[in-house]
Structure 1
Amino acid sequence: MSNDTDTGLDLGRRLRALRLAHGLSQRALAKQAGVTNATISLIEAGRMNPSVGALKRVLDGVPVSLSDFFAFEPKAERQVFFAAEELTEIGKGRISYRQVGGNLFGRRLQILHERYSAGADTGRAPLSHDGEEGGIVISGRLEVTVGDERKLLGPGDAYAFDSAIPHRFRAVGPHDCIVVSACTPPSF
């Protein structure tokens, strides 16, 4: 790996840890900073090394100064077991994403307990990011679209795919949908 890539990954991991420490999803930070969700995703994945001006704009969405950002030293979480009430809510609105662990700095896996209110979806614009993800529907019905493929899943059904392929999720029917999912690397 080159130094530029190492610097980008360090910057991305630092931004992700800071964002999560402030309880913001990528989408919420993007909205507050006035940038696209893809910008936040690319920075956190180490695929975009922003200019100082662009980074300052993103950090204004937290808000935190450049000096505080570079002084921020996230520590890897060492907790092994998590009670239900210890899961960290990182979603907003009609979709709840309860994450196992509050600080994923230094971790390579993200695990979520997801609750989609009846009719809720991840938005018209498909999601796309580096990594892989998979999940199992616990209850309710979930329509999963990955690229040109679409499938309605029910309890016990599962999905797994390359997260770089554009994808979206939608709860179908009159009941909430519960999903347990995992993503590597953490990208939400």
Structure 2
Amino acid sequence: MDIGSKIRELRLENGLTQEELANRLELTKGYISQLENNLSSPSMTTLFSILEVLGTDVSDFFSNQIEEQIVFKQSDFFEKENNDLKHKISWIVPNALKYEMEPIIIEIGPGGSSEMDDPHAGEEFGYVLEGEITLFINKKKHIIRTGETFYYLANKEHYLHNHTTKKVKVLWISTPPMF
């Protein structure tokens, strides 16, 4: 493990110069530089003090756990088109199956539909970003327009249908993940 680089990374995350860190620890700037360049190793007491000043502890410092991704860019999305149903689904949080909910964006062309979902445990929420869509829950129809939302228990057969001549875009979130 590269202890010096981790100390440097934490110091920079805390917005401290080597001199500022050294002053808080009653050490010299030169010693901090030696630590960060792996030219010297700190005693356990000094390491504990450094980590305390940098807002972490020994277990987090030595953890090999990869930092969880929080922000997802469009390049992270996974897309799938269904030409028969005239829709495209974008999974906007990769690997959402490991989470409690799964957000997608579904774009449905004129006359198109989402897949028919059989009844299942969970809840679903949607926000119409563009256009006007019909939500079918069993045989009951609900018209939802741009800027409006829908929310229901998913214990009945359900799907979306674009009854218009324009493309529709919907943010759709399912819990547990189902898409």
TM-score normalized with structure 1 length = 0.54
Match of 1:86 among 52, 68, 76: 76
| More displaced stretch, 170-179 vs 76-85 | 76-85
> What is the CA-CA distance between 1:106 and the residue it aligns to?
2.5
Match of 1:143 among 103, 127, 134: 134
Question: Residues 163 and 77 of structure 1: is their aligned pair in 2 closer, same or farther, counting only changes over 3 Å?
Answer: farther
- Give the number of aligned pairs: 112
Alignment correspondent of 1:169: 160
Alignment correspondent of 1:183: 174
- Separation of aligned partners in 1, 2:139 and 2:72: 37
3-state secondary structure, aligned to 1:172: coil
Alignment correspondent of 2:98: 106
> What is the CA-CA distance between 1:126 and the residue it aligns to?
5.2
Cα shift readout 1:35-69 (whole Å, capped 9, x = no counterpart): xxxxxxxxxxxxxxxxxxxxxxxxxxxxxxxxxxx
- Separation of aligned partners in 2, 1:95 and 1:119: 10
Alignment correspondent of 1:119: 111
> What is the CA-CA distance between 1:85 and the residue it aligns to?
2.9
Does the 8 Å CA contact 2:74/2:92 hold for their aligned counterparts? no
Stretches of structure 1 that go unaligned for 5 or more consecutive residues are 1-75
Does the 8 Å CA contact 1:96/1:115 hold for their aligned counterparts? yes
Task: State the AA in 2 paired with 1:97.
Answer: I
Question: Residues 122 and 181 of structure 1: is their aligned pair in 2 closer, same or farther, counting only changes over 3 Å?
Answer: closer
Stretches of structure 2 that go unaligned for 5 or more consecutive residues are 1-65
Within 5 A, what are the aligned runs for 1:61-80? 78-80=68-70
3-state secondary structure, aligned to 1:142: strand
TM-score normalized with structure 2 length = 0.56
Does the 8 Å CA contact 2:129/2:147 hold for their aligned counterparts? yes
3-state secondary structure, aligned to 1:159: strand
Of structures 1 and 2, the larger Rg is shown by: 2
- Separation of aligned partners in 1, 2:113 and 2:97: 28
